[in-house]
Amino acid sequence: MNRIVEKEYFSDAVVKLVVEAPRIAKSRMAGHFVIVRVGKKGERIPLTIAEADVEKGTITLIVQKVGVTSIKLCNLDVGEYISDLVGPLGEPTHIEKVGTVLASGGGVGVAPLLPIVEAFKNAGNKVITVLAARNKELIILEEQMRLHSDEVVIMTDDGSYGKKGLVTHGLEEIIKREKVDLAVTVGPAIMMKFVSQLTKKYNIPTVASLNTLMVDGTGMCGACRVTVGGKTKFVCVDGPEFDAHQVDFDEMLLRLNSYKPSETEAYESFLNKYRKA
Amino acid sequence: MKVLLEYLKKERDQEWRVELRSKLKNKERTQLERIQMPEQAPDKRNKNFTEVNMGLSEEQAMFEARRCLDCPNPTCITGCPVGINIPKFIKKIEAGEFMDAARVLKETNALPAVCGRVCPQEIQCEQVCFYSQKMDKPPVAIGYLERFAADYEQNSGNMSVPETPAFNGIKVASIGSGPAGLAFAGDMAKMGYDVTVFEALHEIGGVLKYGIPEFRLPNNVVDVEIDNLQKMGVKFVKNFIVGKTASVEDLKEEGFTAFLVGTGAGLPNFMHIPGENFIGIYSSNEYLTRINLMNAADPAYDTPVLSGKNVAVIGGGNTAMDAVRISKRLGAERSMIIYRRSIEEMPARVEEIKHAKEEGIEFLNLHNPVEYYADENGRVNKMKLQKMELGEPDASGRRRPIPLEGSEYIIDVDTVVVSVGVSPNPLIPQSMKELDVSSWGTINVDKESLQTSIPDIFAGGDIVRGGATVILAMGDGRKAAAAMDRHIKGKVRDILTLIKEFKTIGEVLDFVK
């Protein structure tokens, strides 16, 4: 049981939760994630850790309402408890001084990108960060990103903020402008696929942090498996970060939709109940 | 050993046992037929998750107990990994003293209601029973009787809590709450230790909860046993991954003296054949976890599971039998076992194979999958099978399956469960670099003490054995508890010696570290 101590709406669909988890706050590193379960009948879902405060003993989760579990989580108020929260899981990001790091984040993928950007910056790299979303309302953590990046570029699909265009447009402009030694990308699978295609064209080593379906998160079930370089890997224990150029994103995209029909059904029945209540 | 034999003889010579033996001649006892376990009818049970075996009635149990000859040399005990005093508990049943029978079980077994259900008695105690060894008759149904006594006590609402001495103040931990950890915790608590059990998942019980389905081992049976351990003072911490949430070093700083690693064989094996990552292809661990731990079959729970019309389960072990029987219960029209050897070589218990067959499971023996195919959404829809034949015996002594070239054919499947074994979970070995690990990823231990290359860390169960049974893991837990107790007492003696030798506090502290 972990108590929620702070809650902030970034938008209607995106919520920031600061949760008591002193041990995780202490042991987590950039790239780590947690598994949460809401309620006795809830499912287990992975969520990346955006920030941690060792002194206060809290971690920050940023959640987008996309299904039953994320809505249940977003509906919890300050003072209420998350039934189960376990972590930190996964392998931490490999941080070293490489020169210039080009980071890109899409949607709530910006949240796990934050500690990665911070760690690369602290290791003495020049960090350029590209944040992308559909519109201005969905751009999150811009201020914190500016704190840890040498430059921040904002891209929106509709041009309501920053530059108009896709994340790849913003990235390509920078790649053409200056030498990039490493790219890091976190976001929807489809975005990471196109970022990976772009950086491959320019031969820039690229790390992607994958967000697959999971059950236990400790290597036990294999729900999260992906093909990397022709081999099956488990995102939970071998990842979540992999060489993006080796990842079979098409397979990953298919597997993410494993439960689409039942999820849609569950989501609608949940919304019906929720509206009645 | 001699002490044990003397103890058993003394117990056997007690008046009540002598009197009970004289009530019926051995000849009359051996003429009694072994009792049949009452079961739910196959066509009914393959549509529900209620337990298949319904348990013996009091009369049935007392009748079966009469068959036991109370041998002067009870070989059955040598077949039990936790050394239950088998004749004593059976004779208690014959005498109608069911609560006492349960107490005898709990002297050496922390989870009798579990073992009575899932132990492979046919290759342990029952295999070395006098009836099977010397008379070529069905052995005494020791497993059924164990379950009977344990259930009787559970249902009485009057569970006895084994006596524990006052806390000795020494903190020890089990990493993992499966059978090894629970057996360890029970024994350590009985010796007065302050025991904490750490569990990664949100439920205590490990494989007993996520692995074994409700129709073979109901969760409430496990919970009652866990509750009993709690009453003995054992503490349980869920959602805690040692090596991640906190390291062993952190826990040592918090006062833990020694550890048992019982983290199981948690990493599923795949066959690495084309198409194995299509949607609808599960590891047995994932399929069982969704159903058993997450209750995916119940629409009131959020976790989904894909239930198919044509389900293929690859493998021939108990886990494969569990998975295929679950698929039938989820409404599959065709549930198949696909196994590359013949039915004789299957590692599953005879009872599980029999139950599966009765429930309408098809067995495609001497078959092996070679490729999977999918529809446009990536959902598996067909698989290619190859026929096999048996050649010469391999290292395991079983005849090696050889593919028959040109025998391939395609069948329709929409759900596949790959149940071809598990590998040790790497989380703990990864977090302790100095831990000696085999090339298989199992932790190397001293065979007698189960001590690892780090003196304060012991290990048992599947993380050492690779993939074995609940009862062997429990046996390991008990063995490790005894060895850890000796290890800790040895350390305490050494410290006392140092103090007697007037060493400085600094030297003593250095030694403790």
Question: Whole-angstrom Cα distance, residue B282 to residue B287?
Answer: 6
B241 contact residues in A (CB cutoff 8 A): 86-87, 89, 218
Give A271→chain B minimum CA distance, Å: 13
pLDDT at residue number A267? 65
Asked if the model's pLDDT at residue A263 lies above 70, the reply is no
Mean pLDDT on A41-52:
93
B74: left (phi over 0), alpha (psi -120 to 50) or beta: beta
Asked if A251 and B290 come within 8 Å (Cβ–Cβ), the reply is no
**B427 and A CB contact within 8 Å:** yes
- Report the residue from B239, B266, B278 with minimal CB separation from A220: B266
What pLDDT, on a 0 to 100 scale, did the predictor assign at position B491?
A: 86
A222/B279 touch (CB, cutoff 8 Å), yes or no = no
Sequence-ordered list of residues with C-beta below 8 angstroms from that of B353, at least 6 positions apart, any chain: B321, B343, B346
Q: Is the pLDDT of residue A266 over 70?
A: no
Which of A36, A215, A220, A267 best tests the B interface by mutation, with the highest count of B CBs <10 A?
Answer: A220
Query: Do residues A43 and A127 touch, judged by C-beta distance below 8 A?
Result: no
User: Which of A59, A73, A221 to mutate to probe the B interface, most B CBs <10 Å?
Assistant: A221
Number of Cβ atoms within 10 Å of the Cβ of B232: 17
Q: How far apart are alpha carbons B93 and B99 in whole angstroms?
A: 9
Question: How close A36 gets to chain B, by Cα (Å)?
Answer: 10
Return the amino acid letter for A264: T
pLDDT band at A274 (very low <50, low <70, confident <90, very high): low
pTM summary value: 0.91
pLDDT band at A270 (very low <50, low <70, confident <90, very high): low
The 10 Å Cβ neighbour count of residue B332 is 22
How far away is chain B from the Cα of A70, in angstroms, using its nearest Cα?
12
Q: Where are the beta strands (DSSP E) in B121-274?
A: 171-175, 194-198, 235-237, 256-261, 267-268
Instruction: Sort out which chain A residues have CB atoms less than 8 A from B290's CB and list them.
Output: 215
Query: Could you report the per-residue pLDDT of B125-151, keeping only the tens digit for each?
Result: 999 999 999 999 999 999 999 999 999
| Phi, psi angles (nearest 5°) of residue B129 | -65, 150
- On whether any CB of chain A is under 8 Å from the CB of B62, the answer is no
pLDDT in tens, A77-114: 999 999 999 989 999 999 999 999 999 999 889 999 99
Q: Chain A contacts of B283, Cβ < 8 Å?
A: 221-222
Q: Mind telling me how many Å the CA of B231 is from chain A's nearest CA?
A: 22
B37 Cβ contact partners less than 8 Å away, ≥ 6 residues apart = B53, B54, B55, B56, B141, B144
CA dist B343 and B325 (Å) reads 17
Residue B350 vs residues B98, B144, B344, B347, B508: alpha-carbon distances, Å: 29, 15, 10, 9, 57
| Locus of tokens 């062993």 | B248
Cβ-based neighbours of B205, under 8 Å, separated by 6 or more? B177, B178, B182, B219, B222, B223, B226
For residue B237, the chain A residues in CB contact (below 8 A) are none
Inter-chain contacts counted by CB atoms under 8 A, chains A and B: 116
Do B282 and A222 make contact, defined as CB atoms within 8 angstroms?
Answer: yes
Residue A275 has a pLDDT of: 59
| Contact list, B295 vs chain A (CB under 8 Å) | 41
Sort strands A84-89 and A44-53 into parallel, antiparallel or unpaired.
unpaired
Whether residue A44 and residue B244 make contact (CB cut-off 8 A), yes or no, is no
For chain B, what is the total number of helices (H) and then of strands (E)? 22, 16
Query: Which of the residues B302, B423, B425 would you substitute to probe the A interface, choosing the one with the greatest number of A C-beta atoms within 10 Å?
Result: B302
CA distance A151 to chain B (A): 34
- Interval A121-132 mean pLDDT: 96
Q: Using H for helix, E for strand and C for coil, what is the string for B129-147?
A: CHHHHHHCCCCCCHHHHHH
Q: Is B301 on the interface with A (CB under 8 A)?
A: yes
Q: Which of A37, A83, A227 sits opposite B277 (nearest CB)?
A: A227
B23 Cβ under 8 Å from any chain A Cβ: no
Per-residue model confidence (pLDDT) at position B107: 86
Distance CA A211, CA A183 (A): 18
Inspect the interface and report whether the beta carbons of B277 and A216 lie closer than 8 Å.
Answer: no
Interface test with A, best of B202, B292, B425 (most A CBs within 10 A): B202
B421: left (phi over 0), alpha (psi -120 to 50) or beta: left
Q: Round to whole Å and give the CA distance between B66 and B25.
A: 10
CA–CA gap between residue B468 and residue B477 (Å, rounded) = 14
* A33/chain B closest Cα distance in angstroms: 11
Half-sphere exposure of A163 (CA within 13 A, CB side): 14
**What is the Cα–Cα distance from A85 to B251, expressed in whole angstroms?**
20
**List of chain A residues whose C-beta atoms are within 8 Å of the C-beta of residue B239:** 84-86
Please give the Cα distance from A166 to A190 (Å, whole number). 12
pLDDT of residue A276: 56
* Distance between CA atoms of residues B444 and B94, nearest Å: 44
Q: How many CB atoms lie within 10 A of CB B364?
A: 17
How many Å lie between the alpha carbon of B426 and the closest alpha carbon of chain A? 8
Pairing status of strand A58-64 against strand A14-20: antiparallel
Q: Test B302 with A41 for CB contact under 8 angstroms.
A: yes
Residue B425: which of A23, A219, A227 has the nearest Cβ? A219
CA distance B157 to B227: 12
* pLDDT tens-digit map of B335-355: 999 999 999 989 998 889 999
Q: How many residues does chain A have?
A: 277
Residue A176 makes CB contacts below 8 A (sequence gap 6+) with none
Strands B267-268 and B399-403: unpaired
* B378 with A223: Cβ contact below 8 A: no
Rounded Cα gap, residues B181 and B262, in angstroms: 6
* pLDDT recorded at residue B394: 82
A23 contacts B304? CB cut-off 8 A: no
Question: What local confidence, expressed as pLDDT, does residue B89 receive?
Answer: 96
Rg (CA), chain B: 25
Q: Rounded to a whole number, what is the distance in Å from the CA of A194 to chain B's nearest CA?
A: 21
Residue numbers of chain B with a pLDDT score lower than 70:
1, 512-513
Mean pLDDT of chain A: 92
